[in-house]
């Protein structure tokens, strides 16, 4: 007998499952609902950005959001678990980063990722005009409430180099990673990664790492891919992801996740 098929499929969204135009192909939608395994979305996105994906699916899927800080049940519209940065920690993290990166601008994901607060100079892109998004009313607001993610930008910087700089400044006080090539660094509480969030989700269901196949494309996916029994990179993945992957599939624009799952589950 061959090895048992994975009981759970964990997939990143942007750059992995979702195409560059932010759409899901009909093929991908069909495969996600045909495979004989549970599917969980594991993303850096906050809860408020999931509707863009759910609107394209036949039924919403559970999600590990904000790089592992939030586990979300879309059917009940309920956050099952949240692991935020505490206010006093936010203050200390911001202090260290302002010393290291004087031109830094910040934003925080608050209310379990349902709202964003940001510096006046922060570039608001996807959320422009959203009532849940606003600038800080004072510099002290950054550390006024818990935040599931702290975001930092500082002009045009190499994202890998900038992430290392931020991580060195944090000195283990919090996690630093990135999921884009724009120079944006994402900061979570110490120990909070996609792997930690996915591990909690799986433990609730009695699923072992060996029973999970995971898909990703960027450095924030590395902990999850390392944790899962089978790690698959899309062809467009960052070198750090391809280096640790067990397999490489087609790119996100070529339905790489769907193609791999069709073969794996003989659909």
| Averaged pLDDT for residues 73-82 | 97
| Averaged pLDDT for residues 119-124 | 83
| Averaged pLDDT for residues 19-42 | 97
Q: Output the six-digit token pair for 117.
A: 């607060």
Indicate if the pLDDT at residue 90 is higher than 70: yes
Q: Output the six-digit token pair for 248.
A: 């490489």
Do 37 and 211 contact (CB within 8 A), yes or no?
no
pLDDT value at residue 3:
73
Do 102 and 224 contact (CB within 8 A), yes or no?
no
pLDDT value at residue 227:
99
| Averaged pLDDT for residues 107-118 | 92
- pLDDT-wise least confident of 7-21, 68-82, 101-115: 101-115
pLDDT value at residue 2:
53
Residue 90: closest CA among 144, 19, 157: 144
Measured N-to-C along each axis, helices 26-34 and 256-264 cross at an angle, to the nearest 10 degrees, of 30
The CATH number assigned to the domain with range 87-189 reads: 3.30.1240.10
| Averaged pLDDT for residues 7-20 | 98
Indicate if the pLDDT at residue 38 is higher than 70: yes
Tell me the pLDDT of the chain averaged across its residues: 94
In tens, the pLDDT along 174-184 reads 999 999 888 89
Q: Output the six-digit token pair for 12.
A: 């990143």
Q: Output the six-digit token pair for 263.
A: 């073969």
pLDDT value at residue 1:
37
pLDDT value at residue 28:
98
Sign of the alpha-carbon dihedral angle for 198, 202, 204, 205:
positive
Do 147 and 85 contact (CB within 8 A), yes or no?
yes
Do 204 and 245 contact (CB within 8 A), yes or no?
no
Indicate if the pLDDT at residue 160 is higher than 80: yes
In tens, the pLDDT along 216-261 reads 999 999 999 999 999 999 999 999 999 999 999 999 999 999 999 9
| Averaged pLDDT for residues 101-130 | 86
Do 150 and 78 contact (CB within 8 A), yes or no?
no
Residue spans per domain, the chain: 8-82+193-264, 87-189
Pairing assessment for the beta strands 149-153 and 38-42 based on DSSP bridges? unpaired
pTM of the model: 0.95
Helix/strand/coil for 256: helix
The CATH number assigned to the domain with range 8-82+193-264 reads: 3.40.50.1000
């Amino acid at each position: 007998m061959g090895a048992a098929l994975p009981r759970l499929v964990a997939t990143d969204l942007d750059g992995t499952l979702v195409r560059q135009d932010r759409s899901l192909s009909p093929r991908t939608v069909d495969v996600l609902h045909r495979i004989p395994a549970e599917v969980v979305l594991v993303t850096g996105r906050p809860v408020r950005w999931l509707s863009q994906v759910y609107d394209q699916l036949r039924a919403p899927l559970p999600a590990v959001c904000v790089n592992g800080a939030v586990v979300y049940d879309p059917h009940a519209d309920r956050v099952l678990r949240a692991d935020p940065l505490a206010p006093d920690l936010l203050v200390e993290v911001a202090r260290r980063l302002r010393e290291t990166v004087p031109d830094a601008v910040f934003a925080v994901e608050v209310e379990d990722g349902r709202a964003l607060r940001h510096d006046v100079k922060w570039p608001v892109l996807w959320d422009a005009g959203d009532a849940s998004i606003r600038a800080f009313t004072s510099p002290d607001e950054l550390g006024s409430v818990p935040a599931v993610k702290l975001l930092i930008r500082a002009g045009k910087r190499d994202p890998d180099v900038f992430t290392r700089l931020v991580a060195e400044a944090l000195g283990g006080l919090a996690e630093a990673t990135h999921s884009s090539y724009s120079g944006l660094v994402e900061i979570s509480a110490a120990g909070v990664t996609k792997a930690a969030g996915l591990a909690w989700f799986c433990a609730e269901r009695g699923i072992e790492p060996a029973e999970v196949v995971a898909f990703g494309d960027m450095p924030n996916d590395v902990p999850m891919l390392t944790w899962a029994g089978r790690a698959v990179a899309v062809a467009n993945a960052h070198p750090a992801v391809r280096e640790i992957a067990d397999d490489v599939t087609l790119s996100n624009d070529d339905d790489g996740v769907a193609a791999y799952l069709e073969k794996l589950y003989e659909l």
